[in-house]
Homo-oligomer: A and B are copies of this chain.
Amino acid sequence: MADINSKLDIGVTTGPIRGSRKVHVGPLGVAMREIDLEPSSGEQPVRVYDTSGPYTDPAAQIDIRRGLPQLRRQWQRDRGDVEEYTAREVRPEDNGQLGPDRSGGVPAFPNVAKTVLRAKPGANLSQMHYARRGIITPEMEYVAERENLGRARIAHERDGQDWGASIPDYVTPEFVRDEVARGRAIIPSNVNHPEAEPMAIGRNFLVKINANIGNSAVASDVASEVDKMVWSIRWGADTVMDLSTGRNIHDTREWIIRNSPVPIGTVPIYQALEKVGGVAEDLTWEIFRDTLIEQAEQGVDYFTIHAGVRLPYIPMTARRVTGIVSRGGSIMAKWCLAHHKESFLYERFDEITEIMKAYDIAYSLGDGLRPGSIADANDEAQFAELYTLGELTRRAWAQDVQVMIEGPGHVPMHKIKENMDKQLAACGEAPFYTLGPLVTDIAPGYDHITSGIGAAMIGWFGTAMLCYVTPKEHLGLPDRDDVKVGVVTYKLAAHAADLAKGHPAAKVRDDSLSRARFEFRWRDQFNLSLDPDTAEQYHDQTLPAEGAKTAHFCSMCGPKFCSMKITQEVRDFAAKQNAEVESFVAAEEAEAGLARVGMSDQDMETGFAEMSRAYNEGGRELYIGAGGREHD
């Protein structure tokens, strides 16, 4: 065991993100990241949303065999609606028929709780249930603080096109409660995952991203799986889905959840399929239900349930170019066809909902019939399923259970907005959670980019969470570098969406970075970027010297000529001219007995107008300031 443990220790990435400090804000100690800027900038630190958990906190003691502290446990107990009970025993089939000697298996998590929590009989632990009764939970307060990023202290102008969203200037706990109550946002928070830092997924909050991890039949190990989670959240994943198949599913998931500060999602049908040896037609409601309980007790925060893949829709896919590409969707399609029966996920939906509310697991209603190619986008099968997801949303909401809706897939740009509009209409503004979409099929190896384009657009249109795609999509399993590239790509897409929606705090970081760029504060530019390590590394490939990081030029133009340097001269010149004009005007005004204090914007324009008169050539006004435009 010693070997394995030391391997586990090595496997997890810790330490602050370059140039950032962990801060804990407000009475709940909401974790955020602050980026300090060079004193010469005269600027406040920039506060950014932080998904990385204690792993980037030098003060935290990380021991993945113990798991993270249980941030939410006391809040849960204080509500008085939970009961503790002995968890379902782990069975061989939970780990893919791993024998009692566990040969070929990963080590079991050494700190498994013997008892777990669920709702007392008749109770409902869902955040939506509290919200609808007017209760502001600590989870909602945490979310409010977290989303604000201190925007109250920032003078921000609103600028954007929000397509009908309702983004407030300032997020209050009451706003969070209201959004959750009406189903426009969810806070995935299984009572058995008290380690998670509360976060919201909703159209009126910052756009979130999800990273998928998971071993597969082709093999992986638990240390690398836990670190994939840690690595994903380091770069910005807001939630992580564990899509493991094959052996060790149960144990791997336990390691991940106990060490995860972000919500964990799964697709329970994957594990259920393993339990019946991979034969879809052998699936039963009982096996599926047992899997839900197993995962609920472990603390999975949201379940992808493909309950919209109904028997009548399956033939609609037969003439598609790429048929059914969702794994969950095709499992259910096969089951339905084999039995000539309606899906048990659809038939038993209300029973599933009963389980969800006992643990506060959120639905992620799967789009099992999403298009797998440009040719199949926005087709009948896809939208037929979407309307059913809308029906299921209403049924889940009837029990106060939180819901989000999964979306495509592969969609050319001109068909993206229709997806968003139909989803909003069909699902009553329940949060949309899309995979990309990829805007072309012809770039395998670059599908983080083909999908990043679609993700940015659909995020702008109103999608609440974007499921990342890595460069290995369609080709192979992502490695550590692929995961990082996927996360950063989606983080930039989500941020671009926030900017375009006019999210009040979003532009702060862009502006700060651009000022740093303009003033040749290279370190500030690196530190403010989504990936400071790569930014610095790229810079150093051309100009490795330490001095180049403080030099007032860059590698594009070299020291001799630099457009930003020239702009500074333009600016100095304009200021100097204005100063001349100012003293002239001041003298005039002094004569007229007027007092003047400094230069306003209006003065500056006046200054240009004065310059214009001063340098008038042959009757043509050469300088025209903000007030006078030649063309329009």
Chain B residue, CB-CB nearest to A482: B538
Bound CA span A443–B615, Å = 42
Bound CA span A410–B517, Å = 13
Nearest Cβ distance between residue A417 and chain B, in whole angstroms? 9
Q: Chain B interface: which of A311-319, A358-366, A587-595?
A: A311-319
Whether A319 pairs with B561 at a CB distance below 8 angstroms is: no
Chain B residue, CB-CB nearest to A537: B445
Task: Give the interface centre of A325, A566, A601, A617 by most chain B CB atoms within 10 Å.
Answer: A566
Residue-wise interface mask of A (511-536) relative to B, using a CB-CB cutoff of 8 A (1 in contact, 0 not) = 10111011000000110111100110
Q: Chain B interface: which of A191-199, A282-290, A370-378, A394-402?
A: A370-378
Evaluate whether A570 and B337 lie within 8 angstroms (CB atoms) in the complex, with A510-B442, A529-B442, A555-B218 already known: yes
Which residues of B sit under 8 angstroms from A574, Cβ to Cβ?
314-315, 318
Q: Please tell me if A631 contacts chain B, counting CB pairs below 8 Å.
A: yes
Whether B440 pairs with A510 at a CB distance below 8 angstroms is: yes
Chain B residue, CB-CB nearest to A389: B631
Copies in the complex: 2
Evaluate whether A566 and B334 lie within 8 angstroms (CB atoms) in the complex, with A413-B456, A496-B450 already known: yes
Q: Please tell me if A624 contacts chain B, counting CB pairs below 8 Å.
A: yes
Nearest Cβ distance between residue A332 and chain B, in whole angstroms? 10
Whether B476 pairs with A570 at a CB distance below 8 angstroms is: no
Residue-wise interface mask of A (490-515) relative to B, using a CB-CB cutoff of 8 A (1 in contact, 0 not) = 01110111011110000101110111
Q: Which of B161, B342, B413, B509 contacts A622 (CB 8 A)?
A: B342
Whether B413 pairs with A556 at a CB distance below 8 angstroms is: no
Which residues of B sit under 8 angstroms from A280, Cβ to Cβ?
566
Bound CA span A466–B366, Å = 37
Q: Chain B interface: which of A71-79, A84-92, A539-547?
A: A539-547
Which residues of B sit under 8 angstroms from A444, Cβ to Cβ?
513, 525-526, 529, 535, 538
Chain B residue, CB-CB nearest to A450: B492
Bound CA span A456–B537, Å = 28
Bound CA span A496–B451, Å = 11
Which residues of B sit under 8 angstroms from A502, Cβ to Cβ?
414
Which residues of B sit under 8 angstroms from A303, Cβ to Cβ?
none
Q: How large is the interface on A (under 10, 10 to 19, 20 to 34, 35 or more residues)?
A: 35 or more
Task: Show the binding face of A for B, using Cβ within 8 Å.
Answer: 160-161, 216-218, 245-246, 273, 278, 280, 310-319, 321-327, 329-331, 333-334, 337, 340-342, 372-375, 380, 383-384, 387-388, 390-391, 410, 412-414, 426, 439-446, 448-450, 452-453, 456-457, 460, 471-472, 474-477, 479, 488-489, 491-493, 495-497, 499-502, 507, 509-511, 513-515, 517-518, 525-526, 528-531, 534-535, 537-543, 554-561, 563-564, 566-571, 573-575, 601, 604, 608, 611-612, 615, 617, 620-626, 629-632
Q: List 23 A-B contacts (CB under 8 A).
A: A160-B412, A217-B557, A218-B555, A310-B630, A317-B570, A318-B571, A319-B601, A326-B563, A330-B564, A374-B499, A374-B510, A375-B507, A380-B629, A413-B456, A413-B457, A414-B500, A439-B496, A441-B510, A442-B495, A443-B531, A474-B517, A474-B554, A475-B535
* Further contacts, 19 of them, CB under 8 A, given A440-B499, A445-B538, A449-B449: A314-B574, A316-B625, A318-B574, A321-B514, A334-B569, A337-B573, A373-B510, A413-B497, A414-B460, A442-B530, A443-B495, A444-B538, A445-B529, A445-B530, A446-B530, A449-B452, A472-B541, A475-B538, A475-B542
